[in-house]
Every structure is written in C-alpha cells, then in structure tokens.
C-alpha cells in the first residue's frame, strides 16, 4: 500500500498577516479534530497529481467562484513529512497570495464543507489544526 499523500493550500496576503482558512464542522470523520482548523485540500486519489488533487479538493470544499479565484494564483511551495498519532504521511503545500480586500470578499462567500474564516497571523498561531498541520504552518511562517 502506498503511503498517504495530502495536499493543501495556504491562502494569505503578501505580508502573511491574514489567512483564509477552513474550520471543520461537527461531522468531520475524525472526532478528535472536529471544530479544528485546516488548509483547503485533502488526500491525493489514485491517478491524480498534486495540482489535480488540490483543484478537486477546492471544488469540493468551496463554491466555484472562490475555488477559481484561489486556483488562479496558486503556487507549489514545499513538501513535508508529518507525524501524527495515526502514523506519518507526506504533505505538499501550495500558496495563494491575494490582497487583503480579496481575502475579505472570499470570507463572505458560502462554502461547501465546514466553515471558513479570515484570521490574523497572531490568531492563527493559537488555533488547533487537524492532523498535525501546525508543523507545516510553522515551517511556512519561518
């Protein structure tokens, strides 16, 4: 069996001071992570590449307008190995940089999965993330 490979995208402004992130809801499949935070993204499925998986996940989690907005400015940043209580997995991080006023407009749009919030850099560092994604956030903010 292949090792799990996830993809995600950080949606931020050019100063990395504001972040548009997802909060899982009470139906999230892993009870210990319900109401915790995540980047938009998920697992790469058989036959998908990293960018294809990210595009599919954005379409599943966001309304088409928001997904397209983010896809237009996404760039691959880095890969990381993440360890959790369930084991380890490979994660590929993408970034989408938008002006703060665009982030504010994104935060007003409806979403298809969980809820989404615009949070400050100070606030994001205090949030609990799913599947130990805080490791990726910390590497990104260095």
- Residue 7: left if φ>0, alpha if ψ -120 to 50, beta else—which one? beta
What pLDDT is stored for residue 91 in this prediction?
A: 97
- Degrees to nearest 5, angle at CA 46 with 73 and 4: 80
* Residue 2 pLDDT exceeds 80: no
Q: What is the pLDDT of residues 28-53, one digit of tens each?
A: 999 999 999 999 999 999 999 999 99
Residues 70, 11 contacting (CB under 8 angstroms) = yes
Mean pLDDT of all residues in the chain?
A: 95
Q: What is the pLDDT of residue 85?
A: 85
Give me the half-sphere count of Cα atoms (radius 13 Å) on the Cβ side of residue 121: 11
The secondary structure of residue 31, as a DSSP letter, is: G
**What is residue 86's predicted lDDT score, i.e. its pLDDT?**
83
Helices (H), the chain: 50-61, 64-71, 100-108, 121-124, 134-141
Q: Please give the backbone phi and psi of residue 3, each rounded to the nearest 5 degrees, phi first.
A: -70, 140
**What pLDDT score does 74 carry?**
97
Q: What is the pLDDT of residue 65?
A: 92
Q: 5-141, which class in CATH?
A: alpha beta
74 vs 125: CA distance, rounded Å: 22
β-strands 87-97, 115-120 pairing: unpaired
Contact by Cβ (8 Å): 41, 8: yes
Q: What pLDDT, in 10s, does the model give residues 80-117?
A: 999 988 889 999 999 999 999 999 999 999 999 999 99
Split at pLDDT 50, 70, 90, the class of 1 is very low
């Amino acid at each position: 069996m292949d090792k799990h490979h996830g993809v995600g995208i950080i949606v931020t402004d050019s100063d990395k001071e504001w972040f548009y992130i997802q909060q899982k809801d009470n139906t999230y499949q892993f009870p210990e992570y319900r109401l915790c935070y995540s980047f938009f993204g998920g697992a790469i499925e058989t036959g998908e590449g990293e960018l294809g998986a990210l595009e599919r996940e954005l379409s599943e989690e966001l309304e088409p307008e928001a997904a397209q907005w983010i896809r237009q400015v996404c760039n691959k940043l880095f890969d990381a190995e993440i360890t959790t209580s369930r084991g380890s997995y490979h994660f590929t991080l993408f970034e989408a940089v938008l002006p703060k006023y665009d982030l504010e407009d994104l935060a007003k749009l409806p979403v298809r999965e969980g809820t989404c919030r615009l949070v400050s850099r100070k606030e994001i560092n205090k949030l609990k993330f799913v599947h130990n994604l805080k490791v990726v956030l910390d590497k990104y903010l260095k």
